[in-house]
Amino acid sequence: MAIISGNTYNHFISNYIAQEKTQSDTHKKSELRNVYKSIAKLNKESPLFLLNKDDTVSNQDAVEVKEKAHALQSKIETLRAEKDTAQIQRKAYTTSEDTVSAEYIGSNEQEASSFYINVDKLATNQVNTGNYIKDKLVDLDEGQYAFELRFRGQSYEFQYSIHDDDTNLDVQERLTRLINKAGIGLAARITKDDSGNNAINIISPDTGIGIDNPRQFEITESDSVTTEGAIEYFGLNNMSQEPSNAHFTLNGTEHSAFSNRFTVANEFDISLHNINTTGEDIFVGVRNDSQALIDSLSKLADSYNSFLDTAANIENSKFNSNKLIGEASSIARKHLSGMDEYGITINDTGYIEIDTEKLDNLVNNSQTGPPEELSDSICDFVSALTDKTKEISLDPMKYIERPVVNYKNPSSTENPSPYITSEYSGMMFNNYC
C-alpha cells in the first residue's frame, strides 16, 4: 500500500530540499544499502497501519520531525568531526602575564612540566639617530654622493645627488626614501626635536647581538664617488640605542636569547614583555583549557533542546509529541543524571542545562582533564542519541495516530515493501540517502 500526498510533497520540496547539505548527508553505497536493509527489516516486523491520506497537517508534521531528527544527527556528526566531545586542551599560564606570557606547544598526551623565570634584561634592536639640524639650505657641496650600508652580512650602496638649492630636509627625506624603498628590512623616518630641528632615524627590525660585532648595521662613506662628508653631516652612523640580548634565569640558571620570544623544552613558547621590577620569580605552568569542552557541550545541548522545541511546538492532536519528548529526554536522564556536580543537569521538561562556570572550575582544577565518569557519560549519551535520531528518521510516522489494520504473519516470506513505513516521508528518503 502506498499513499501519496501532493500537498505534503510540495511542503517537503519548499521547506527542505534546498537546505544546505552537510558531510553526513553524503554516503557510500554500503551505507545506503544498510539504510535500505534497516527500512526493510522495520517493515517486515511491523503491523499494517491505516493512514488518512487527507490528513495533510499530520503528514507535514512527520516530515518536520524527520528533518529535525536528521539535522540533530548531522550536528552530532559535525561535532565529532571537529574534535572529540570530551577533549581537553592544555593552556599555559604565568603568574605575571604583563611581564612574561606563555603558549603551550607541547603534546596533550605527554606530562607537562613547569618552571620559574626571572627577567632582568630585554632584547633590544639597534637605533641610529642622526644629527638634529635646521631646515635651511644644506651646507654641503653640490654633487654626487654615496654611502655603504652593511646589514645581515650584506653590503648595499646608495647613491644620491645634492643640488645647490636643496635644504637639509630635502636631502633627509631623499635618504629615508632610499633606505625604505630598498626593502632590506631597515626602517627610516624623520624625527623632530623640541626646537623643530630634523634628524634621520634608522631602526633595525632585529634584536640581539652576535659575538663578533656589537652592531646590527653600519653606515660608512662609499669609495665609488669622490664627494664626501654627508655621513658625518647628517649623523647617519650615530647609534642612539645599542642592540642587546635578553637575559633571564630559568629555575635559577642564567640564560640569554637574541629575541624576546623563544621556546623552552619544546613545550612553551615564551614572550618577554618587561623586566621583573619586584625581583620575584614568575611561575610558568599549564592548566586545562575547558573552553573546547564547554563549546562542544553547549552546541550539543542547544541542538538537543532545539529538537525538543520542535516536538513541543507541534499543535496537532494526532501527533504524540509527549512520546517523542519522553523518548529523547529519557536518553538524557539515563546518561547525564548525576552530573550535577559537573554543571550538567536535566530539568523537569527534559531539557539539558549547563552551568559553564561550574564546569570550567572543575576542569581547570584538574591536572588530568575531565573525570572519566563525565567523559564516559557524554560519549554514551552521544551514541544513544545518534541511534535514536536514526530510528526517528526511518519511521517518523510512529508518532502520528495511526490505527492498526492487521499484524503480519511473522513466518511470511513475502517482499517486505521497504517504503511502507513512511508513506509521506520515507518515500522521500532519496533526497539525502
Distance CA 118, CA 247 (A): 9
C-alpha cell of 426?
A: 520515507
Cβ burial of 286 (10 Å; 0-12, 13-18, 19+) is: buried
Ranked by mean pLDDT, the top range of 251-260, 343-352, 414-423 is 251-260
Convert the pLDDT of each residue in 137-190 to its tens digit.
999 999 999 999 999 989 999 999 999 999 999 999 999 999 999 999 999 999
Residue whose entry in the numeric block shows the C-alpha cell 504524540:
320
CATH class of domain segment(s) 127-241: mainly beta
Distance CA 293, CA 414 (A): 50
- Mean predicted lDDT score pLDDT of the chain: 80
C-alpha cell of 160?
A: 644620491
Choose the weakest-confidence range: 194-198, 201-205, 397-401.
397-401
**CB-CB contact of 232 with 218 (8 Å):** no
Read off the amino acid at residue 367.
Answer: Q
Question: Residue length, the chain?
Answer: 433
Cα dihedral sign, 61-65-71-72: positive
Nearest Cα residue to 388 out of 311, 288, 280, 277: 311
Distance CA 307, CA 300 (A): 11
Taking residues 252-261, report their average pLDDT: 95
pLDDT score of 206 more than 90: yes
Read off the amino acid at residue 116.
Answer: Y
pLDDT score of 108 more than 60: yes
End-to-end Cα separation, the chain, in angstroms: 22
Q: What is the pLDDT of residue 371?
A: 66
* Residues near 10 by beta carbon (within 8 Å), at least 6 away in sequence: none
pLDDT score of 219 more than 90: yes
The full set of domain ranges for the chain reads 39-87+291-431, 89-123+245-289, 127-241
pLDDT score of 373 more than 80: no
Inter-CA distances, 179 with 100, 235, 236, 333, Å: 34, 15, 12, 70
Question: Is the pTM value of this prediction over 0.85?
Answer: no
Buried b (16+ CB within 10 A) or exposed e, 79-102: beeeeebbebebbbbbebeebbbb
